[in-house]
Amino acid sequence: MRSGGMGRYVAGRLLLAIPLLIVITFAVFALIHIAPGTPERALLGARQASPETIAAIREQWNLDEPFLLQYFLWLKAVVTGDIGRSIQSSEAVTAAIGRRIGLTVFLGLYATLIALLVGIPLGMWAALRRGSMTDRTVVGVSVLGVSAPTFAVGLLFLYLFGVVLDWFPVFGAGEGFWDRAYHLTLPALALALALLALIVKITRAAMIDELDQDYVAFARSRGLSQRRIMGRYVLRNSLIPVVTATGLIVVGLFGGAVLIEATFGLPGLGTLLVESVLTRDIPVVQALVLLTAVFVIVVNLGLDVLYTVIDPRIRFGSADS
């Protein structure tokens, strides 16, 4: 695939993403109609309302129109940037999200960085010392990490490092870059643990697979240097499963972030989501789901492009791979 081909590939994938987005937005839109009770009730939540308020809501949400028309009108509004107002706070949803997104992104990036920078070398190390004590310890810890739920781990960290040892602050998100980093270290670590365990597991398995390959044995029989073999044969070839893993991890970050923010009381998108779900603040929920969907699609696309760069078989489309 030449560069023109790459452009076409990306465009094609984006095009394919549209039906997906439509289905998702439709499902999201339909939420207010699926939820128990009438749509107006769903939109009002638990609050009392005068007939005028109810009428105003019906007006604003076009609830008198046929269903599909409602959807199109809503979609039109969304596309032009008007996602509505939060029922709880009456502020524009975009503002509500905008305030909190920074924190969640910071947390996510921080955790991903830790997971990758520690996980990949650890996985490699374990693979090279397969069967030894170090390997078994790494494997044992990673099993624990994979099974341990983030919130439980988060809580334990909170207790151990925050309360007992008092190394880190127990709540709050901090101001400014370094202070924020300090405050978010515990949450990021807790979040990173599960991701880290996964990355270690995958990297280790991928490398072990590689080390067992015939072409590695052939390379050794030709007397190639250890550096060459590790670099060009083993590492490079293990990249694909690792990239896949990273992709799934980025997506999995969501679940983890929500739980961690709840554990540490951080005002991020995660807590926003839970709050708005509990208070039936539908516009906010809709916006968050949309945001997530777009994010996931973009990440997956990025991964697929990365695959074609790494593996020539995918690039040229062979039956082999």
Partner 1 sequence: MTLLEVEDLLVTAGDRTITAGTTLTVAAGETVGIVGESGSGKSMTARAIVRLLPPGLSAKGRVVFRDKELLGLDERAMRSVRGSGITMMFQDPFTMLNPLLRSGDHIAESLDRGLSRSERRDEVVRRLDEVGIDAGEIAKRYPFQLSGGMRQRVGLAAALARDPELLIADEPSTALDVTTQAEILHLLARVQEDRGMGVVLITHDLRVAFSVCDRIYVLYAGSLLEVGDPGSMEQQPLHPYTLGLLLSEPAADRRQSELLAIEGSVPSADDVTGQCSFAPRCHWAAEVCRRADPPLVEVEPGRLSACVRIGDIRSEMLELRRSVAIDAAAIPLVDVVEEPLISVEQVSKTFRAGGREVEALRKVSMAFDRKESVGLVGESGSGKTTLGRCLVGLETPSAGSVTIDGIDASDYQALSSDDRARLRRTIQVVFQDPYSSLNPRHTVGRALGEALRVHDTRGASVDALLDQVGLSSAYAKRKPARLSGGERQRVAIARALAVKPRFLVCDEPVSALDVSVQAQILNLFKELRDELGIGYLFITHDLAVVRQIVDRAYVLYRGEVVEEGPVDALFNDPQHEYTKRLIASVPT
Partner 2 sequence: MAEALELKRTRVTHRRRITFMVALSFVLLVVLLVFAVFGTAITPNDHEEQRLFVSDTPPSAEFWAGTDQLGRDVFSRAIIGARPALVGAVTVSVGAFAIATVLGLASGYLGGAVDAGVMRWADLMLALPGLLIAIVVVGVFGGGFWVAVLVLILLFAAPDTRIVRSAVLEQRPLPYIEAARTLGVSKPRVMFGHILPNILPIIFAYVVLDFAFALVALAGLSFLGLGVEPGAADWGRMLSENRSLLFSNPWAAVVPAVLIILTAAAMNLVGDWMYDRFSLEQ
As beta bridge partners, residue 102 has none
List 116, 198, 272, 284, residue binding partner 2 (CB under 8 A): 198
Q: Which of helix, strand or coil describes residue 92?
A: strand
Please report, as residue ranges, which positions from 210 to 239 form the binding site for partner 2 (by CB under 8 A): none
Provide, rounded to whole angstroms, the least separation between the CB of residue 239 and partner 1: 9
Q: Give the integer Cα–Cα distance in Å for 127 and 120.
A: 11
List 93, 97, 186, 245, residue binding partner 2 (CB under 8 A): 245
Q: Give the integer Cα–Cα distance in Å for 211 and 193.
A: 26
Where along the sequence are the contacts to partner 1 (CB under 8 A)? 130-131, 212-215, 217-226, 228, 232-233, 236-237, 310-313, 316-321
Nearer to partner 2, 95 or 156 (CB): 156
**According to the binding rule CB under 8 A, does residue 139 interact with partner 2?**
yes
User: In terms of C-beta density within 10 A (0-12 exposed, 13-18 middle, 19 or more buried), how is residue 194 classed?
Assistant: buried
As beta bridge partners, residue 92 has 85
Nearer to partner 2, 178 or 319 (CB): 319
222 binds, among partner 1, partner 2, none (CB under 5 to 8 A by kind): partner 1
**Residue 83 phi, psi (nearest 5):** -95, 0
**According to the binding rule CB under 8 A, does residue 149 interact with partner 2?**
yes
Which of these ranges, 28-36, 43-51, 83-91, 306-314, lies near partner 2 under the rule CB under 8 A?
28-36
Say if residues 149 and 198 touch (Cβ distance below 8 Å): no
Nearer to partner 2, 112 or 142 (CB): 142
**According to the binding rule CB under 8 A, does residue 205 interact with partner 2?**
yes
**According to the binding rule CB under 8 A, does residue 151 interact with partner 2?**
yes
Nearer to partner 1, 75 or 216 (CB): 216
Which of these ranges, 98-106, 214-222, 277-285, 311-319, lies near partner 2 under the rule CB under 8 A?
277-285
39's CB contacts (< 8 A; 6+ apart) are 32, 33, 61, 63
Q: Which helix (H) or strand (E) is 222 found in, with range?
A: none
57 binds, among partner 2, partner 1, none (CB under 5 to 8 A by kind): none
Nearer to partner 2, 5 or 140 (CB): 140
Task: Count, in order, helices (H) and strands (E) of the chain.
Answer: 14, 0
Residue with tokens 């520690």: 118
As beta bridge partners, residue 311 has none
Q: Give the integer Cα–Cα distance in Å for 34 and 220.
A: 62
Provide, rounded to whole angstroms, the least separation between the CB of residue 152 and partner 2: 4
As given in the structure block, the two tokens for residue 243 are 């990239």
163's CB contacts (< 8 A; 6+ apart) are 170
Q: Give the integer Cα–Cα distance in Å for 82 and 92.
A: 8
* 96 to 87, 88, 274, 292: CA distances (angstroms): 11, 11, 14, 15
**Residue 37 phi, psi (nearest 5):** 90, 175
201 binds, among partner 1, partner 2, none (CB under 5 to 8 A by kind): partner 2
Read off the DSSP letter of residue 152. Answer: H
Provide, rounded to whole angstroms, the least separation between the CB of residue 202 and partner 1: 18
Which of these ranges, 58-66, 110-118, 149-157, 308-316, lies near partner 2 under the rule CB under 8 A?
149-157
**According to the binding rule CB under 8 A, does residue 278 interact with partner 2?**
yes
Residues engaged in binding partner 2 (CB under 8 A):
20, 23-24, 31, 34-36, 42, 139-140, 142-144, 146-153, 155-156, 158-159, 162-163, 170, 198, 201-202, 204-205, 241, 244-245, 248-249, 251-252, 254-255, 258-259, 262-263, 273-274, 277-278, 280, 285, 289, 292-293, 296-297
